[in-house]
Every structure is written in C-alpha cells, then in structure tokens.
Structure 1
Amino acid sequence: MYTRFFLLLLLQGYDSEDRAYIVTQGPLPHTVADLWQLVLQERAPAIVMITRLQEKQRVKCEPYIPTHSGLYGDITVTVRQVLNKSGYTIRQLFLQRGDESHETLHFWYTAWPDHKTPSEADQLLAMALQVEHVRKSACGVALGPVVVHCSAGIGRSGCFVAISIAINQLLEEDCVDILGIVCQMRLDRGGMVQTGEQYEFIHRAVALYAATLPSVCNGK
C-alpha cells in the first residue's frame, strides 16, 4: 500500500462522479515509489503535475520521471514518447511489475509562476481539456481516477480540478457554479484553492472556455 503519502484525497467529479480524481502532494524522496504504486494500483489514466521541481531555490517536488527508464521499488517506468506543448509537456509512460503492466500519460504544466497565478489561462485550459478527453476515453476500460499533484496538493491542484469540473458542468448545463464547485471540494478537504487570486484564475479559465461554446448561461 502507498501509506507514506501524507496527503491523498479522492475527489468527486462533475455530478458527483465517484473517484474522478486523486489529489496528493508532490512526491518526497521517500515517497516516489509510493506514487508509482498508487498509479499502478489505481490504474490511473493520467498524472497531472502542476509545479516545477524547484521554485525560488526551494525544492517543491522530488524528481520522479526517468529520462528513459527507471526502477522505483519493484516497478519499472519507461518513457515511450515526449510531446512538448505550449506551457506543458506530455509523456507517454509504460509501467511494469512482473506480469502486471499499465500505460498512462504524464502531463507536466511548467508555466505557473512563483507565488502567483498565470497571466493567461489558455495553456492550463488546453491541458485540462486534453486530460478530460483522456479520462473520458478511459471510461469503461477498467481505469481509475486521474492523479493530480502540485507541491502541497491543495492550491494549484484545486484550481485544476475545479476548472475540470466546471468545463463539464458548462457542457452539460450551459451554465456553471464555480463557488459551489469550490465549496464542495472544500467539504472533502479544507484549503482546496488557497487564495482569492487562484479563485479568480478559475473564473478566467472557465470564461475562456465558455467563449468557445455555441451558447452559455446568459442569465438563464
């Protein structure tokens, strides 16, 4: 079991979808193998990382992605493909432990500035849409929740999950309740979405997405 993770929280998705996301802190030196065990055991279709390894000369997350291949506990992780996008990178990973194997995608968003929010929301929104496509494509294929982490696992991770839930609500209901989404997340764990600036960033990302849809709430 991955018992050494200090923060590990199962979050609902849109419309109370069970086990949509696992939100956790960034791996520490002694929990890297636990992360890979979590991904393999839960058969996560994607890992979302929203932090650099160091920010302002402070370690924010232990390196846990091999350049080519690496052994973590009894799990071998191999990088099969790397795709560079604007603001983030996607890696196709293959995990193997004995006869057990699993393929997953690693999304690494590196454009989040120190102690601020991004000036533009388009890059993170684009990544969130790709992750949602992967997550929905995995439905019915016996895959589990998406693993999301930043450093502490509550601020940036909370923003990402809130944006992901909001874009689903917009698609289904033609309107969105961001306050309600954040309040529900905080019922699961206090502190999700840490600052007013992060809360405002969620609104900007969702407004950007709403502008791409044929119709929005418009006060209805």
Structure 2
Amino acid sequence: NEEKKHGSQDLLDLDPVPQTPVFDITDTRTEADSATLTVTPVGLQERRGSNVSLTLDMCTPGCTEPYGYGAQLSPRDQSAQEYLRQGTHVLTPAQLHSRAMDDQALQAEFYETPMNFVDPKEYNYPGLVRKNRYKTILPSEHTTHTADVLRVQGYDDEEQAYIATQGPTVNTVGDFWRMVWQERCPIIVMITNLEEKNEKCAEYWPEDAVTHEGIEITVVSVTQEDDYSLRVFTLKHDREERSLRQYWYTSWPDQKTPDKAPPLLELVQEVERAREEAPPSSGPTIVHCSAGIGRTGCFIATSILCKQLRTEGVVDILRTTCQLRLDRGGMIQTCEQYQFVHHVLSLYEKQLSHTSEE
C-alpha cells in the first residue's frame, strides 16, 4: 500500500520528510518494493526512478524536502554548468506532439539534465534557516533578498520578467511585501494550497487590510474562477498607491496525472493579459509555490515557451529548463512535471493552429 501511495503522489509537488531519524535507502530500482529496501540510519539518500542520489543534511534546524527523482545536491561543478549552458532540443509542432507522448524519451532527457542545486555548505548567510522554508533550497548568490528568491529572465532574454520564490513563511511575510513594493511587482501567481498534509505557505495577505513594513495592503475585490481565485489589492506607501493582482491557483496540487493541461494554460494566458495591462513602470511577476522550484518552474517555463511558440513556431523545452536551472537549481523538479510541460505546450500548439485555420 505504501508503494501505491508513492505512485499516485502529487504530480506537481513533493511531500516534505517528517522531522524524524533519517535513513539511507540504498536500493536503486525504479519501483522498489519497500519490504526489500536495505535501510541504515545515516543521512538521507533517496533514489527514485534514477540512480542519481540525493543527500540531505538534517542535523540543523529547518524543514527539508526530499528532491529525489534524479535530483542532485552537490556543488555546482563545471560539467553540470557546461551541460546546462549547451542543452538544446528544438521541436517543431509535429515533433512536439509526438515527443509529448513519448514518456521514455522524456524520462531519459530529464534524468540526463543536471539539477544544479546549491550546496548548503557554500552559504553562510545570517538567519538563513529562519528565513528559508527548506534549507536545501537556497537563494542564489546574486539575489538581494535574504529569503529564497530568484529573478528569472523571460522569453528572448527579457530582463527579470519573473521572480521565483518560496511560499512566504510566518518569518518572511514582511520581507515578501517589502520585495513586492521594492520591485514594483504588478502580479503574484500562487500555485499551492496553504496546507497539503502540512504547512506549505503562510497566508500572507489580509482578509480586509493590514500594514507590513509601512506598506498598507487593502483587498479591493475577490473573484472566484473555476481553477483559481483572483484578489485585487491596493498598496499604499509614502503617499504612492499601486494596484496588485494575486492569482491563487488551487486546482494544481490535487492533480495526479498530466491530463489537466487546460487550467494551467488558461492561467498562463490570463497572467499574460494582465501583464500587458499593467503600467509600463511595472517590475517582474512573482511566482511561488511552496519551495519555489517545482510548480513555479513549470509555470515560468510554460509562460516563456508559449511566447517562443507564438514567435518562432518552434519550442525548445530542454533549453528553457537548462536556462532556468542555471539560475535556480531544481526548476521543474520531477520527470512528471517535465512531461506535463510538454503536454501543456502540445495543447497550446493545437489551439494556435486551430485559430490560424479559422
């Protein structure tokens, strides 16, 4: 039964490990029978669907999540960097549709692509554990925020089109709102429930109004759509007033199979429309889930790739994944997510060609 539970595990998020003694699972088979695992209590090595191991240091405070599925927690070695800088696989529409259905080819491509996680030992930031939800997912060296945040370029090297970040914790709500103001963000895309078996994200917005870091945050309206709710806020600080939209996508966490591509595609398109209507002085769109790499990576990649498909008539999902991981390790976190992005793009291409036929 335990194995069945793993199989139907949430496609778009991974469960955190509980704060209990950890074990070294040394079996490397794809669907290991849990009864035959050789277990020794040393650090956690998880190999699921890949022979690449993931070691998590669990000695210090802070919660950790297992980033298995081929994830690799190691210093950013040269060969990984080189692979990520050169990785490319351009797909025409016909190739995209057949590729989306080819699970084996996508698995092979996904597991060959380095995760590029940062080694926690490389960091000595004060208050790191207090500010970061998962201490194995750390801010990049070139971020200006202590909490786990990364700026991501958009399509065609559009400067800092997105900010990928963890879901705020109770300790980082103030930091989060300061960032929203400082970066002039017009949109927040939230792709997680507040709780999924345990806490995934603090409820960082008010029911009516609240002040954080001298920024007055007031809820103007709440609209419930089929797959997300839209909150419109007014932010006031030093006599300046701005509008902010939060798209809270709640239907993603429960998806167990990649047949629910339409809601994600609709959200990407809705956010693009809102982005175009935002003032020209607006900064990046904030995207977050819980750790800010899995579902967040899927959303940002899909958004970039939709633009590429419209503009060039081809997509390079591998290249976009590699570019995202160069900046932020672990983006598009599981093989299932990688397949899912292909499904969404395949759906989008069919929509595009259907529209042009009309």
**Residue from 71, 74, 83 that aligns with 2:211:** 71
- Once the two structures are superposed, residues 108-159 of structure 1 have per-residue CA deviations (whole angstroms, 9 ceiling, x without a partner) of 00112359566401111111111112223337x1110000100001111000
The 3-state SS of whatever aligns with 1:64 is coil
Aligned to 1:125: 265
- Contact kept, 8 Å, 2:193 with 2:253, in 1: the verdict is no
- 1:22 equivalent to 2:163? Answer yes
Q: Structure 2: which amino acid aligns with 1:24? A: T
More strand by share: 1
Unmatched segments (≥5 aa) in structure 2: 1-143
Instruction: Give the whole-Å Cα distance in 2 for the aligned partners of 1:171 and 1:21.
Output: 19
Residue 341 (structure 2) aligns with: 202
Residues paired across the two proteins, number:
213
Deviation at 1:175, TM superposition (A): 1.3
Q: TM-score, normalised by structure 1?
A: 0.91
Confirm or deny: 8 A CA contact 1:10 1:21 kept in the other structure: yes
Mapped partners of 1:189, 1:73: distance in 2: 27
- The CA deviation at 1:197 is 0.3
Find the residue that maps to 1:90 and give its secondary structure.
strand
Alignment-derived partner of residue 246 in structure 2: 106
Q: Residues 117 and 65 (structure 1 numbering): CA distance in 2 closer, same or farther, change over 3 Å?
A: farther
Matches within 5 A, 1:156-175: 156-175=295-314
Paired letter, 2:244: T
Instruction: Give % identity.
Output: 48
Task: Tell which structure's C-alpha radius of gyration is larger.
Answer: 2
**Could you tell me which amino acid in structure 1 is paired with residue 296 of structure 2?**
S
Q: Which residue of 1 aligns with 2:181?
A: 40
Higher relative CO (Cα under 8 Å, sequence separation at least 6) belongs to: 1
Task: Output the amino acid matched with 2:199.
Answer: V
Matched residue type, 2:170 = P
Amino acid at match of 2:184: R
C-alpha change, 1:165 and 1:117, in structure 2 (3 Å) is: farther
- Unaligned 5+ runs, structure 1: none
From 206, 211, 234, the equivalent of 1:94 is 234
The letter of the residue matching 1:183 is: C
